[in-house]
Structure 1
Amino acid sequence: MTAAAAQELDELCFLSAQSMSSLKVPEHFQVVKLLGEGSYGKVILAVHKKRGTPMALKFFPRQSTSLYSFLREYNLSLSYCTHPSLTRALGIFFSTPTYYVFAQQAGLYGDLYSVIVSEVGVDEECVQRVMSQLSGAVTHLHSLGFVHRDIKPENIFLCDSSCRWVKLGDFGLARAIGTSVRAVWYESPFCTPEVEPAKEAEKEMERRQRDGTEEEMEDIWVTVEPCIDSWALGVLVYCLLTGCFPWEESTSDDRGYRRYKEWFICEAEKEEKVRDVEWRAEGDNDSYTIMEENHRVNPPPSQFQGLSPLVMTLFKELLHPEPRQRGSPEEILSYLGGPWLMETEREERRKAEEAEKEARKIREVGGVEEELVRDGRAER
């Protein structure tokens, strides 16, 4: 599937290159406003003059963008992004003297980054709703043989103001599963820990340049795997719940990540010891009780304070330091519905206790009435 997906995408790029036309934007589109701008180029909200429909025009500078990379992103978005939570191209692509351009579905309400309140996050129900959609979208993309490789709040677009419908976009870094790419380290919590050697190589290169050593270093190559997206989704969950990042970068130099990894290793060792313990095998405790006990015995690092045992277990799946043991995006679905914040868990317990008290009262009243009925029968 992997090789077939890459080959099919290459063929689509070859065919579309033969039919790309040159257009003047003002003749065909009514420009509304600038939606975003970056090193990739810019995105403009426009209305197609003949169709009358709004769309986002993505502009790639021809000077810094190869025709193939432009067509790859366009064709991937057009032909493979068929899930409702993936941003899809609209079949319009062309060139101008300075840009390559294609049209895609417009996120009229901005991106996910714009709704995250710093150090607060967003409503927990909203977080689970968003992650449910992204889980399906990324799983779909993986099933077709591609990895997104750039999941972050800025690349998740809103179709309404309440995040009831979101779309993952920007497929410029997407590659077929199994593709070899040069390892690039960048200072971000979304950067996976397995590319830390690239950071060390970068430091060594800088040292050699300072020393005037001309000897070049060989590039470090990594294989594109779905676990890259799993890591990013785990970091995104944390970001949405807290309005912060769990660490600045996922390397041993970062104190926050180091504390997380130490906690993770302790958890793994503890689970190994209790795996065959009799009380667990007999099922005397439900899975959530086990999570709570683990949470109490080995408390998570301070940056995870306020997060429930349930979501910490999800983090252990998605934020596994070893890429081959990382859970899939589909794992998220198993953790929906339960509390992801401690305050939510406490509120749920309070409601459950009140419901139990009410049920007890009803049972007691029912018991008294039954007794009176029996006494009445006896008298007759």
Structure 2
Amino acid sequence: MAAVVAAQELDELCFLSAQSMSSLKTSNHFQMVKLLGEGSYGKVMLAIHKKRGTPMALKFFPRKSTSLISFLREYNLSLSFCTHPSLTRALGIFFSTPTYYVFAQQAGLYGDLYSVIVSEEGVGEECVQRVMSQLSGAVSHLHSLGFVHRDIKPENIFLCDSSCRWVKLGDFGLVRPVGSTVRAVWYDSPFCTPEVEPAKELELEVERGNREPEDIWITVETSIDSWALGVLVYCLLTGCFPWAESTHDDASYRRYKAWLDREAKEEEGNDGGRRGHEKETETNDPRLIGEEKPTSNPPPPQFAGLSSLVMTLLRELLHPEPKLRGSPEEILCYLGGPWLMETEKEERRKAEEAAKEARKIREGAGVEEERAREGRGER
């Protein structure tokens, strides 16, 4: 119901804004500073409002390749629905030129998340958890309004400072209401969900001349964003991707899927599985799950450096079955614990040292108590 209401409200805003869009000459009102980014959608320029002196990002959409309705949908969605602090918001300025549709939005003055990921290394563990905490809230906010982002990736996450203490998810061109249907489009990326694999198979069959071109339609679900968040966690922690594409043609993905299948079988044989066991224990803290996990089924090689805690999270987000995928809110349950193997080992070492120290204190206290009893003649 929320998705239907939100979609209707967005359509109404687009209709009204279409009546009031003006035509401006950009140079009369803005001083262009530099190019922030460009792609198939158009380009984004850092600009200064000449009258107010306010820095902002101007997003330019070529009129030849952009419909007015798609431009107005992205603008109004960003203006009226993106009220979470980690969502990029439009600034209420939109206009057209002879060649572009343009709207102004908050500027990410420190670039995007892609620019800070070190290849083969990623970013610091604390930074990863900060970023994912913010994105969990931002994506959950969109979902609560009935929308799915459908294009979460490092290039669409913008930095408000150099330490990733404040990030904003942007680029809402592919956002669609929950439950709507869209044409399944396969693209060669680890962010592409496995449920779109039939579209790739169809493309190959068409190329071979075995089938006629046809459209495959899928329903837009929030699980699409959960998958992307899972891939993003891995990317930030390692500076790599877990696989090139999430299809059975990819050896790395096949290994992951086989590991996941073995995990499921082992759980079925353990008195109803892990979820049933958690209900019987005194705590549901996911950080304790990894301690009970059997070692007979180690994760695939590409996950070797990740802790048992984050592997449990990735199993939730990167489940091949959309209906079994965890929600973005679940990320919050895994914050604060170790996400890298080295950190996990260090925490265990410190815990062991603390336990030894506690034993020494207890033993010392016992000796002192015994001496005191002897002094009182109580022996």
Same topology, TM > 0.5: yes
Q: Which residue of 1 aligns with 2:6?
A: 5
Q: Which residue of 2 aligns with 1:345?
A: 344
Q: Which residue of 1 aligns with 2:239?
A: 243
1:349-368 to structure 2, matched below 5 A, reads: 349-368=348-367
Q: Which residue of 2 aligns with 1:333?
A: 332
**2:231 alignment partner AA:** V
Task: Give the 3 Å change call, closer, same or farther, for CA 346–69 of structure 1 in structure 2.
Answer: same
Measured after TM superposition, the shift of residue 315 of structure 1 is 1.2
Which of 264, 271, 290 is the equivalent residue of 1:268? 264
Measured after TM superposition, the shift of residue 31 of structure 1 is 1.3
Are the aligned partners of 1:247 and 1:257 in contact in 2 as well (CA < 8 Å)?
Answer: yes
The C-alpha deviation readout for 1:130-180, integer Å capped at 9, x for no partner, is 111101100000000100000000000111111111110000000011111
Task: Give the 3 Å change call, closer, same or farther, for CA 282–87 of structure 1 in structure 2.
Answer: closer
The C-alpha deviation readout for 1:278-297, integer Å capped at 9, x for no partner, is 99476499865653453512
Measured after TM superposition, the shift of residue 372 of structure 1 is 4.1
**1:318 alignment partner AA:** L
Q: Which residue of 1 aligns with 2:78?
A: 77
Measured after TM superposition, the shift of residue 264 of structure 1 is 0.7
Point out where structure 2 has 5 or more consecutive residues left out of the alignment: none
Cα distance in 1 for partners of 2:289, 2:79 equals 45
Q: TM-score, normalised by structure 1?
A: 0.93
The C-alpha deviation readout for 1:268-326, integer Å capped at 9, x for no partner, is 11111113389947649986565345351211111111111111111111111011111
1:248-327 to structure 2, matched below 5 A, reads: 248-276=244-272, 280=277, 283=281, 290-294=289-293, 296-327=295-326
Measured after TM superposition, the shift of residue 207 of structure 1 is 2.0
Measured after TM superposition, the shift of residue 257 of structure 1 is 0.6
Query: Aligned to 2:31, what secondary structure does the other structure show?
Result: strand
Cα distance in 1 for partners of 2:264, 2:223 equals 19
Task: Give the 3 Å change call, closer, same or farther, for CA 321–152 of structure 1 in structure 2.
Answer: same
**1:223 alignment partner AA:** T
Are the aligned partners of 1:157 and 1:166 in contact in 2 as well (CA < 8 Å)?
Answer: yes
Cα distance in 2 for partners of 1:349, 1:43 equals 47
Q: Which residue of 1 aligns with 2:139?
A: 138
Cα distance in 2 for partners of 1:79, 1:220 equals 32
**1:308 alignment partner AA:** S
Aligned length: 374
1:76-95 to structure 2, matched below 5 A, reads: 76-95=77-96
Task: Give the 3 Å change call, closer, same or farther, for CA 250–295 of structure 1 in structure 2.
Answer: farther
Say whether residues 1:229 and 2:225 are aligned partners.
yes
Query: Aligned to 1:52, what secondary structure does the other structure show?
Result: coil
Task: Give the 3 Å change call, closer, same or farther, for CA 355–220 of structure 1 in structure 2.
Answer: same
Measured after TM superposition, the shift of residue 253 of structure 1 is 0.6
Q: TM-score, normalised by structure 2?
A: 0.94
Q: Which residue of 2 aligns with 1:201?
A: 202
**2:167 alignment partner AA:** V
Query: Aligned to 2:299, what secondary structure does the other structure show?
Result: coil
Say whether residues 1:59 and 2:60 are aligned partners.
yes
Are the aligned partners of 1:295 and 1:309 in contact in 2 as well (CA < 8 Å)?
Answer: no
Measured after TM superposition, the shift of residue 205 of structure 1 is 1.9
Q: Which residue of 2 aligns with 1:112?
A: 113
Measured after TM superposition, the shift of residue 370 of structure 1 is 3.5
Measured after TM superposition, the shift of residue 5 of structure 1 is 1.3
Cα distance in 2 for partners of 1:93, 1:134 equals 27
Point out where structure 1 has 5 or more consecutive residues left out of the alignment: none
Are the aligned partners of 2:113 and 2:158 in contact in 1 as well (CA < 8 Å)?
Answer: yes
Query: Aligned to 1:247, what secondary structure does the other structure show?
Result: coil
Are the aligned partners of 1:152 and 1:236 in contact in 2 as well (CA < 8 Å)?
Answer: yes
Cα distance in 1 for partners of 2:266, 2:375 equals 61
Are the aligned partners of 2:148 and 2:178 in contact in 1 as well (CA < 8 Å)?
Answer: yes
Q: Which residue of 2 aligns with 1:190?
A: 191
Cα distance in 2 for partners of 1:102, 1:373 equals 80
Task: Give the 3 Å change call, closer, same or farther, for CA 260–277 of structure 1 in structure 2.
Answer: closer
Query: Aligned to 1:274, what secondary structure does the other structure show?
Result: coil
Measured after TM superposition, the shift of residue 368 of structure 1 is 3.7
The C-alpha deviation readout for 1:79-137, integer Å capped at 9, x for no partner, is 11000100000100011111111010111111111111101111111111111110110
Query: Aligned to 2:45, what secondary structure does the other structure show?
Result: strand
Cα distance in 1 for partners of 2:352, 2:325 equals 37
Say whether residues 1:17 and 2:18 are aligned partners.
yes
Measured after TM superposition, the shift of residue 371 of structure 1 is 3.9
Say whether residues 1:161 and 2:162 are aligned partners.
yes
Task: Give the 3 Å change call, closer, same or farther, for CA 7–164 of structure 1 in structure 2.
Answer: same
Measured after TM superposition, the shift of residue 240 of structure 1 is 0.5
**1:185 alignment partner AA:** W
Q: Which residue of 2 aligns with 1:37?
A: 38
Say whether residues 1:68 and 2:64 are aligned partners.
no
**2:256 alignment partner AA:** Y
Task: Give the 3 Å change call, closer, same or farther, for CA 267–359 of structure 1 in structure 2.
Answer: same
